[in-house]
Amino acid sequence: MDSGQYGSDLNLGTRLVGSEKRLNHSHLKRYTILKNSHFFIQRIFCWVTAAVGFLPFPLLGQEISDSSTKGAWKFNAYAESFFCVRQRLETGQNISDFQFNHNRGNIIGLNQVSQGVEYLSKNFRFNLALHAGTYVEDNYAAEPAYLQPINRAYVGYRVSKKRNVWLDAGVFPSYIGFESVNAFDNATATRSLLAENSPYFLTGIRANYPISPKNEFNFYVLTGWQRIKPQNNNSTPSFGWQWIHAFPNQSKFNWSFWAGADHPDSSRKWRYFNNFYWQGKKGKWSYTVGFDIGMEQEKKKAKSFFVWYSPLLITQYSISNKWRSAFRVEHYADPHSVITKPANGSAVRASSQSINVDYSPKPSILCRVEWRSLQAKEPVFFQRNEYDNRTSYTTLTIAYQLNANLRKKGRNK
């Protein structure tokens, strides 16, 4: 999951920039520029990806093995384009203030394009990836411009060979939730509201601790609630853990917890967040049941808390090796606007239903079409110069990914 996700000024920066674009119509020129820049980025992506085939390193397989003491390098590339069809929306206008993926209407957009390298040896690992796209524009708006291109950037050291315990430091994908920005990780085309409003990325130190083949714990010390650069005048680190329990019947249970403050020291309000989900398979069916619940102090040193929560159910059916379909129903309630902060001041209490059909002609390509409907108690969805409490739209996406080992010619197979 991750994610997308914000408290205090992180919300404010993203939301205010977005509302100015949409309500004043000055975004039209900007999106013309963006469209051209996206075209240029796509060309760079294609050239670099194609060039890998001519490197003096053959591409071998999809996974890195740590059996070599000399280590192995891996190149990865990813791109996802989308076209969201929605009536009563300006070309390029955002759908809402609290969605960060595929969040442009009636325009062909590039949600995310990324390229990266990984290195893995028996005791050391390294991961670096850069990215661009509309997701980056929206979800990294509060970060300094020089940090926004960072998708992943961390190094790790194996501190225990017996337990296979790793210690990593840097910027890494969020451990909260079952969805990510990568389309191949998700059963649906668009992201769920609970994923859009919890972190997609985190910065800090993490350590994993496998207790048994069925149980694993991960521990985190972080810079904040989805932040690369620590918040100004906030001296408090954040903490978290994750417990994953695997069942014998191809199912698993996950509990992720986060604790910290996403406000400066002068107005510090403690936040506690829990993410629970269960995933299982039976025959051609797969299921995900999720529930997020968070609480934050109403004010500094207060004993009372504001609460937000989100239940969700996703079912997916595999029609064949190349065709799948999924259905989603969810509800998201943030009555005190702790996380979601629409520019018109409304609180987000919304439900959503969606159905999508997937076609994957090969493992590296995923094509999707999804219809989605959202209903809210208050007007929180954009409708040209106004807000509405309902919206529905169709989203078409095409995603491509490449994960390949790089190995020098002549090396033992």
Give pLDDT, residue 1: 53
Give pLDDT, residue 70: 77
Give pLDDT, residue 288: 98
Q: What is the pTM of this model?
A: 0.85
Exposed/middle/buried for residue 175 (C-beta within 10 Å: 0-12, 13-18, 19+): buried
How far is Cα 106 from Cα 91, in angstroms, rounded to an integer? 5
Give pLDDT, residue 35: 47
List all residues 6 or more positions away from 254 whose beta carbon is below 8 Å from its beta carbon: 178, 242, 243, 244, 245, 275, 276, 277, 278, 279
CA atoms within a 13 Å half-sphere pointing along the CA-CB vector of 394 = 6
* pLDDT tens sequence for the chain (413 residues): 543 333 334 343 433 333 333 334 444 444 444 445 444 554 555 455 444 444 444 443 333 444 455 789 999 999 999 999 998 899 999 999 999 999 999 999 999 999 999 999 999 999 999 999 999 999 999 999 999 999 999 999 999 988 899 999 999 999 999 999 999 999 999 999 999 999 999 999 999 999 999 999 999 999 999 999 999 999 999 999 999 999 998 899 999 999 999 999 999 999 999 999 999 999 999 999 999 999 999 999 999 999 999 999 999 999 999 999 999 999 999 999 999 999 999 999 999 999 999 999 999 999 999 999 999 999 999 999 899 999 999 999 999 999 999 865 444 44
How far is Cα 199 from Cα 141, in angstroms, rounded to an integer? 14
Give pLDDT, residue 30: 46
Pairing of strands 305-318, 124-132: unpaired
Give pLDDT, residue 61: 37
Give pLDDT, residue 333: 98
Q: Which sequence spans correspond to the domains of the chain?
A: 8-406
Give pLDDT, residue 44: 55
Angle ∠(347,352,356) on CA atoms, nearest 5: 150
For domain 8-406, which architecture applies?
Beta Barrel (2.40)
